[in-house]
Structure 1
Amino acid sequence: MKGWLKDGKAVSPVVGVMLMPVVTVVLAAVVSSYAGGMAGTQKKAPQASFAVEIRSAETTGWTPEFVMKHLGGDPVDTDNVKLVTKWYNESTGKWEIQETTAVPWNESGQICYYDNGGSCLWTNYTDVNTEYADGTGNNTFYHAPYLVVPGDMPADGSGEETELWFGNYVIQKGDVIKAQINLNMGTGQYQNQRTPIIANATYLKPGDIVTVELIDLTTNAKIFSKDVVVQ
C-alpha cells in the first residue's frame, strides 16, 4: 500500500505538466474559433473612392453645384449611408453642417419632407419624388443629390423618377450624382428640394473648403472623407 501511494504521488505531477500544453492548445482553438465567428458575422462598410467638385454661384453664374463621381471600389447603397458636408462660413462666423440621409418614414407610412425653414412636414404621399405638395402640380418635393441619367432630368414627371433620388439608388463605378444646391430657393418645379446638400451654400466663394463625407449607417464607419476646394 505504501509503495502504491508513493508511486501515485510521483506520477501525478508529471501527468499534470503533460496535460497543461494540451489544455492550452484546446483553449486557444476555442477562442480562435469564437473570434473568427464574430469577425465573420460582423458587417463591413463598403470601400470606395470618389471625386467631388463643388462650384460656387460665382462660377456657375446661377446657383452652387455639387457633383460626386464613383471612381472605383464597392457599390454604395444610398439607403444605408449619410452624406455630410461641413464648412466654415466667414460671412456668418459659424460652421455650416448638413446631413443628408434617405427620406424618413413614420409608423403611419408618411414621408417627411422639409420646408424652406427646415421644418419636417409629414405627408401621406406614397412617393415624395413624384407627388405634388400643393395638389396642383406646381411644386415637386424631391430628394437630392439625384443620380445623373443621360436624357432623364429629375422632377419632370417622366423617366426614372423613383430611381433618381438619394436613398433609392446604388452608386456604382462610373456613376455621377449631382445637386444644384439651392434649388429649394428657386421657383416652379425647382422650388422645394427636400434638403440642401450644403447649408447656406449661397455664401460659398471660390477657395472655400468644404469637408465632404460618406458615412455607413450600419457601422458608423467613414466610406469617404475629403476637404474639397470650392471652384
Structure 2
Amino acid sequence: MKKERITQTEAVSPVVGVMLMLVVTIIIAAVVSGFAGGLVSGQEKAPVASFECNIVNDGTWGGSGFNLRVLSTEEGIPTKDIQLVTSWKASDGTSNSTIITGPMNNANVHYDCGTGIINSTYVAPLGFGQAIEGWKASGSYSVNQHYGNYTLMAGTTMHNSPYGWSASYGGYGVSSDTRYEYTDGTKFSIANGDQDSLMAILGIDWYHLQPGDVVSVKLVHVPTGSVIFDKNVVVEG
C-alpha cells in the first residue's frame, strides 16, 4: 500500500491560516477602536463652572429679586445653549415651574416702562458684568444683556427684580398696604397681560413664595443634556 507523505509545507499551512486570521482580527479591532475613539473625542463636553444663587422676596419691588452669579468657569458658556429651569411649591400650596431657553422669538417680559415712553420688552434673566458688551446697570438695557445673547463668564450675574415704581404706575408691593401682591396701574397691569421679569423666571404666581420656601434652580447645557447647576434655593426675606 502506498503511503502518503505529508510535506512540511502542507503541515504548516493550517497554522499560517490561523495566524493570518488572527492578524486580520487584530487589525479590524484596531480600526473599530480607533473609529470609536474618534467619535468619543469628537463629542462636545459639558462645560464645568460653579455658581451661587439667591432669591429674595420681601414683599416689595425694590427689595425682591433673582440673582445667579458665575463664580468660575473653564470657558465661556453661551446662554443660547443653556436652559434655565425653575420649579417650586410654596408653603401655601401654590406651585409653578418655568423653562427659559434663549434666544427666544418672543420676549418673556413685556410692560410699559416707568417713563411711559417705550414698551419694555426683553428676555429675562438679564446679564450684567464686564464680559457683556455695552451692558447697563439700569435704564434701557442693551440687547446684548438679553438672555440668549450673552455668554457666562466668571463674574457674570443673571439678575432681575419685579416691576414697581409707584402706586399709580402699578407693580409689585408698591405701597405699604400692598406688600406681597401686585396692583394694576397706568404702566403695569396684569389684567392687560403685562408680565415682569420675576414672573418670567419663577412663574406668574411667584409672589406666593415666602421666606423659607424652597425653589429648585437648574442650568441645563442643551448640546450635551448635562445639568451644570442644580440647587434647592431657600427664599430669603
TM > 0.5 fold call = yes
Matches within 5 A, 1:146-161: 146-149=126-129, 152-154=136-138, 156-157=139-140, 161=142
User: How much has 1:197 moved relative to structure 2?
Assistant: 0.7
1:140 maps onto 2:120 in alignment: yes
Q: Check whether the contact 2:86–2:216 (CA below 8 A) recurs between aligned residues.
A: yes
Q: Check whether the contact 2:54–2:67 (CA below 8 A) recurs between aligned residues.
A: yes
Q: Kindly report the root-mean-square deviation, in angstroms, between the aligned alpha carbons of the 2 structures.
A: 3.1
| 2:200 partner amino acid | P
1:198 maps onto 2:230 in alignment: no
Q: Check whether the contact 1:213–1:222 (CA below 8 A) recurs between aligned residues.
A: yes
- Aligned twin of 1:96: 96
- Aligned twin of 2:66: 66
- Aligned twin of 1:165: 146
- Aligned twin of 2:41: 40
Q: Check whether the contact 1:79–1:168 (CA below 8 A) recurs between aligned residues.
A: yes
Residue from 107, 128, 141 that aligns with 1:113: 107
User: How much has 1:18 moved relative to structure 2?
Assistant: 2.2
In structure 2, do the counterparts of structure 1 residues 146 and 104 end up closer, same or farther at CA, with 3 Å as the change threshold?
A: closer
SS in 1 for 2:202: coil
2:154 and 2:226 map into 1 onto residues whose CA distance is 20
User: How much has 1:38 moved relative to structure 2?
Assistant: 0.5
| Percent of paired sites with the same residue | 31
SS in 2 for 1:39: helix
1:103 and 1:23 map into 2 onto residues whose CA distance is 52
- Aligned twin of 1:228: 233
Work out which of the two has the higher radius of gyration on C-alpha atoms and give 1 or 2. 2
- Aligned twin of 1:174: 155
